[in-house]
Copies of this chain bind each other. A is one copy, B any other.
Amino acid sequence: MTTNPEPELGPAPGAEKHAHAGSAGTNDKSGEPRAEDRSRAGRPGAIGMGEGDAGVGGGGLPRTSTDRDEDRLARVALTWLVEPGNRTVWGLVQQGGAAATLDLLLRGDLPDGRLRAAAAARAAVGDARRFAEAALRRGEKLGARVVVPSDPEWPGRVADLARLELRTGGRVNQDTRPPLCFWVRGGLPLDEAFERSVAVVGARAATGYGTHVAGEMAYALADRGWTVVSGGAFGIDAAAHRGALAAGGRTVTVLACGVERPYPAGNVALFERIVECGLIVSEWPLGAEPLRHRFLIRNRVIAAATAGTVVVEAAARSGATQTMSRVLALSRPALVVPGPVTSAMSVGCHAILRGNPYARLVTSADDVLEEVGRIGEYLSERPRGPDRRRDALDEESALVLEAVPRRGTSTPEELAAAAGLDLRTVLRRLSLLELAGLVVRREDGIALALDAL
């Protein structure tokens, strides 16, 4: 978790000015932009975005091949200027596209003073576009590609981060929005790797018990065709990756630094095997250091890109418990392996189970698949329309869906009463219905999705 002394990739020579704004277009696969974002993009350009520019208007996804290159470059440049997940930047990209947002940031034309200062500080170090061009060239040589939302392999689940609201000490968490792009090493398509995936995460200072359980669980999950996602750290993370590899299965490491130098270096042999059999993924551009705060930003992707997350061992208030708070906020299955109450490495796990009625205790891969299996199987057959989706529902989900009012919203408690089901079942079914696009979560409750009416 210490910072890496190696300097970040410097600005590349031969920078050019790109004045073209981001272009329009939507992509069903990416899940972004959503209807609400599209409508917002139609408002007058209060934040100084020229909505009259050619190609702008549909939420910032590129339409043409040139637009796409421009979009990819701008997204890389943006993640070099500002930390991934930034609410303001993501909002601007959704409205006007990545290239126009980059222009805004470089011009300093922003109402958010803190963001303006941060971008200016980075811009003073080097030219963002030159950096991005150099990084993309270097990535090509190293076998690292950049995946953006308009690419077919973009993992759709991360779009749920658009709704993630986390308050820490009364302040809204500023780094919770969906990624702008992913750097990827490895042959698997990114979406395919994440589709039937479970995160297995936990303490670095794991006990023999914890690494044993993580390894066994990952082996069994990988053996049944599930991708094991983790953070590449020592302890539980490494044990999970190794378990999946031992089963000849798939595993994905989500890093908080550049993919060309996975952290920690002590796991280098493991990372090499992961690139062969799975993927190494990061939101940060090549050369990015594994700074402490980046792990917390990274954790939201582990929570959002997977069908569920298992915490095997965790100290109190640790990175793993932070990941779990994101999993719970996303209404994904939050699965916790208990341990001896005498073990400091299980204190965080037990605290999650005691503090969150929706966290579930799991003891085996069977338990894990009981919680996430249905969702994964469901998603593996992509629904085409409301009717098809409704037909595919299990009985309990159908009962919950019927209980959702045609106008307005209901709380999960009201739905439980109306459907005659217990609250836990309702919450699990709601996650499924939400993933299927049949219901949406609003501030005041659950509503029918527009196309489910």
Q: Does A341 contact B (CB under 8 A)?
A: yes
Given A361-B361, A367-B354, A417-B414, are A209 and B342 also a contact pair (CB < 8 Å)? yes
Q: Does A285 contact B (CB under 8 A)?
A: no
Chain B residues near A416 (CB-CB < 8 A): 413, 423
Contact B342 A213 (CB under 8 A): yes
Q: Does A318 contact B (CB under 8 A)?
A: no
Copies in the complex: 2
Give the residue among A213, A337, A357 with the most B Cβ atoms within 10 A: A357
Q: Does A377 contact B (CB under 8 A)?
A: no
Q: How far is the CA of A204 from the CA of B383 in the complex (A)?
A: 52
Q: Does A212 contact B (CB under 8 A)?
A: yes
Q: Does A273 contact B (CB under 8 A)?
A: no
Given A413-B413, A413-B417, A414-B417, are A350 and B361 also a contact pair (CB < 8 Å)? yes
Identify which of B340, B411, B424 contacts A339 (C-beta below 8 A). Answer: B340
Q: How far is the CB of A435 from chain B (nearest CB, A)?
A: 22
Chain B residues near A357 (CB-CB < 8 A): 357, 422-424
Q: How far is the CB of A324 from chain B (nearest CB, A)?
A: 15
Contact A363 B341 (CB under 8 A): yes
Identify which of B209, B347, B360, B362 contacts A340 (C-beta below 8 A). Answer: B209
Give the residue among A339, A341, A353 with the most B Cβ atoms within 10 A: A341
Contact A423 B413 (CB under 8 A): yes
Q: How far is the CA of A339 from the CA of B362 in the complex (A)?
A: 12
Closest to A337 in B: B341
Contact A340 B341 (CB under 8 A): no
Closest to A212 in B: B342
- Count residues of A near B (Cβ-Cβ below 8 Å): 29
Identify which of B347, B353, B364 contacts A361 (C-beta below 8 A). Answer: B353
Q: Does A338 contact B (CB under 8 A)?
A: yes
Closest to A217 in B: B341
Closest to A414 in B: B417
Chain B residues near A417 (CB-CB < 8 A): 411, 413-414, 417
Q: How far is the CA of A319 from the CA of B118 in the complex (A)?
A: 63
Q: How far is the CA of A212 from the CA of B340 in the complex (A)?
A: 11
Q: How far is the CA of A175 from the CA of B13 in the complex (A)?
A: 86
Given A413-B416, A416-B413, A417-B417, are A341 and B364 also a contact pair (CB < 8 Å)? yes
Binding site for B on A (CB under 8 A): 209, 212-213, 337-342, 346-347, 350, 353-354, 357, 360-364, 367, 411, 413-414, 416-417, 422-424
27 A-B interface contacts by CB (under 8 A): A209-B340, A209-B342, A213-B340, A213-B341, A213-B342, A337-B341, A338-B340, A338-B341, A338-B346, A338-B350, A338-B361, A339-B340, A340-B340, A341-B364, A347-B363, A350-B361, A353-B361, A354-B361, A354-B362, A354-B363, A361-B361, A411-B417, A413-B416, A413-B417, A413-B422, A414-B417, A423-B423
- Not counting A353-B361, A357-B422, A361-B361, a sample of 15 additional A-B residue pairs whose C-beta atoms are within 8 angstroms of each other reads A209-B340, A212-B342, A213-B340, A213-B341, A338-B350, A338-B353, A339-B339, A340-B340, A341-B363, A350-B361, A350-B363, A357-B357, A413-B422, A414-B417, A423-B423
